[in-house]
A and B are shown apart, each in its own frame.
Chain A
């Protein structure tokens, strides 16, 4: 029996998370909106449907693990954690401030619900492999999820990890690439091409699933297919739009690491049909 999902509720949650991202980044005055907004539906599906986790017990041993390898997108992770109940939504306002539990990039020792510190690209998939190996060694059923950026796959270490996961047949790992086509210096294909991306992963003996990264039903279905694939690791190549949901940010590389002004945020929130509180 497939798990039921309430599309309206999940879409509403994605909207809430987008609102949180914009609010916290505006308050922080720095950070990364583009790649946070592009991975909003992915994170919504992971934290509110796909993963087994207990916000009231962040260290629950049988929880599925999540590694945000593209650590700069932590606003979307912090929002998902806060909306899940790991810490108060109010605390999102402390992002990037001195003494805050919400560091500019995720730190496992500071924030409840953060499984791993990250921020230097190309390390997360290996960490996830380690968790997946441990899960198998201990005959546990928890899975490891790892979200990477598309520019991130230019790091050679990603491919070392890709080779290892296939070699050790880690079918309890599910990687996701937020394929928004943009990196800081411009379009990925212009900076240093990564296409054909799914073919590359297939050549590394992964089960690669292409999916619309903004379609909640498609994501749910893809995660299910990944879970059901045995003997090899799975990866979701999630086609997304950088800055998704805010018209003036969409597909603009300059919104990678620049935050909106208060006025721009109000405009953005209107688009999201939510009034700034």
Chain B
């Protein structure tokens, strides 16, 4: 059995760790510090934590002001609210002004579960990646979150990191490098490449690959944690070395991660593709595992997509 961990807990722990050596780090939340785990930082560094209340627009533009003065603000809340509620503040005050604000997009995807559609962020990647100057990262699991946090503190400029609510399998290792703009091959293969984000989906991809191996289908799996800038080289290589591509994401396929991969594929080395993700619909209430199935995100759906690409 794979180790299961909360990526958001690693996020909270890393804030504390980085905050100890970097006095410029300030953290803001919008009344969700228990969920996003920014409470850990608040407990340790009271004077550098600001709860902005239920006011995401204010939080976002205030972070821009703090960044103007040389601070490194981390702002956290659910993805449905940030960038959902305050996209204009992200666009103008953070991206157009090109300020060093780090956005923690928590509770991404349908696996948020029983809270239902209003709280399941399925459009955040689309909303963020279209903004100039914005970097969009999806650390696969808790281990990768640790590396990701260390990397984005060093990087100067707007960054959004996305993670989910549930414990997810740890599929990466501490020794694998995390480089913005790069990706990691989790498994080699020669027939089809599955490119995915988030260990919840990448784990399903691995299960699918195991099943397909029984049919003598060899699947390459890439963890594309850097959604923007995206690792074009790895995508084009996959187009050249395998017969087609399946993308997997716990997010809408409309303008999301799969679209980002498709933009590279169609303009460089067109191959057959299938995009596994939520389709043109809102989320709904249910248990996380039920929802993954309901929305067509589990291993059997990925297997089907791979077979379609090979047809």
Q: Which residues of A approach B to under 8 Å, CB–CB?
A: 65, 67, 107-109, 115-120, 122-124, 126-135, 137-138, 144, 156-157, 160-161, 163-164, 167-168
Q: Which of B52, B71, B89, B98 contacts A137 (CB 8 A)?
A: B71
19 contacts between A and B (CB under 8 A): A67-B65, A107-B97, A109-B97, A117-B92, A117-B96, A126-B57, A126-B65, A127-B93, A129-B65, A130-B62, A130-B64, A130-B69, A134-B65, A134-B68, A157-B55, A157-B61, A160-B55, A163-B53, A164-B52
Indicate if the CB atoms of B98 and A127 lie closer than 8 Å: no
Across-interface contacts of A157 in B (CB, < 8 A): 55, 57-58, 61, 89
Q: Interface on chain A toward B: helix, strand, loop, or mixed SS?
A: helix
What residues of chain B lie closer than 8 Å to A132, measured between beta carbons? Answer: 65
Q: Given contacts A126-B57, A156-B57, could you give 12 more A-B pairs where the C-beta distance is less than 8 Å?
A: A117-B96, A120-B88, A126-B59, A127-B64, A130-B73, A132-B65, A134-B70, A157-B61, A160-B55, A161-B58, A163-B53, A163-B58
Task: Please report which residues of chain B, range 38-69, place their CB below 8 angstroms from some CB of chain A when the two chains form the complex.
Answer: 47-48, 50, 52-53, 55, 57-69
B69–chain A nearest beta-carbon distance, Å: 3
Taking CB atoms, residues of chain A closer than 8 Å to B16 are none
Contacts of B97 in A (CB 8 A): 107-109, 116-117
Closest chain A residue, CB of each to CB of B93? A123
**Is the Cβ of B71 less than 8 Å from the Cβ of A161?**
no
Complex: chain A residue closest to B68, CB-CB: A131
Interface residues of B in 178-232 (CB under 8 A from A): none
Specify which chain B residues have a CB less than 8 angstroms from the CB of A65 in the assembled complex.
68
- The answer to whether A123 and B96 have CB atoms under 8 Å apart is no
Whether A115 pairs with B68 at a CB distance below 8 angstroms is yes
From A117, A135, A144, B93 is in contact (CB under 8 Å) with A117
Q: Return the contact of A164 from the options B55, B71, B92, B98 (Cβ within 8 A).
A: B55
Beta-carbon nearest neighbor of B47 in chain A: A137
> How many whole Å from B52's CB to the nearest CB in chain A?
6
Docked complex Cα distance between A130 and B60 (Å): 10
Q: How far is the CB of A156 from chain B (nearest CB, A)?
A: 8
A123 contacts B89, C-beta separation under 8 Å? yes
Write out the residue numbers on chain A whose beta carbons fall within 8 Å of the beta carbon of B136: none
User: In the assembly, what is the distance between CA of A69 and CA of B58, in Å?
Assistant: 14
* Contacting residue for B62 out of A118, A120, A161, CB 8 A: A161
Report B224 CB to chain A, min CB distance, Å: 30
Q: Is B26 an interface residue (CB 8 A)?
A: yes
B250 to chain A, nearest CB (A): 30
4 residue pairs, one from A and one from B, having the closest CB atoms: A130-B65, A134-B69, A126-B61, A160-B58
| With contact pairs A126-B58, A134-B71, A163-B53 given, residues A107 and B65 touching in the complex (Cβ less than 8 Å) | no
Q: Known interface pairs A123-B61, A163-B55. Does A130 touch B66 (Cβ–Cβ under 8 Å)?
A: yes
**Which has the most chain A C-beta neighbours within 10 Å: B58, B65, B92?**
B65
> Which chain A residues lie closer than 8 Å to B93 at the CB level?
116-117, 123, 126-127
Query: Is A120 in contact with B92, judged by CB distance below 8 angstroms?
Result: yes
**Set of chain B residues within 8 Å of A128, measured between Cβ atoms:** 65
Residues in A neighbouring B91, C-beta threshold 8 A? 120
Q: Which of chain A's residues have a CB closer than 8 A to the CB of B58?
A: 126, 129, 157, 160-161, 163-164
Query: Which residues of the other chain, B, contact A156 by a CB distance below 8 angstroms?
Result: 57
Q: How many angstroms from the CA of A124 to the CA of B60 in the assembled complex?
A: 11
Q: In the complex the two chains form, is A130's CB within 8 Å of B52's CB? A: no
Q: What is the minimal beta-carbon distance from A115 to any residue of chain B, in angstroms?
A: 7
Residue from the set B47, B62, B71, B89 with the largest chain A CB neighbour count within 10 Å: B62
Whether A160 contacts B57 in the complex (CB less than 8 A), given A117-B97, A130-B69, comes out as: yes
A129 CB contacts on chain B under 8 angstroms: 58, 62, 65
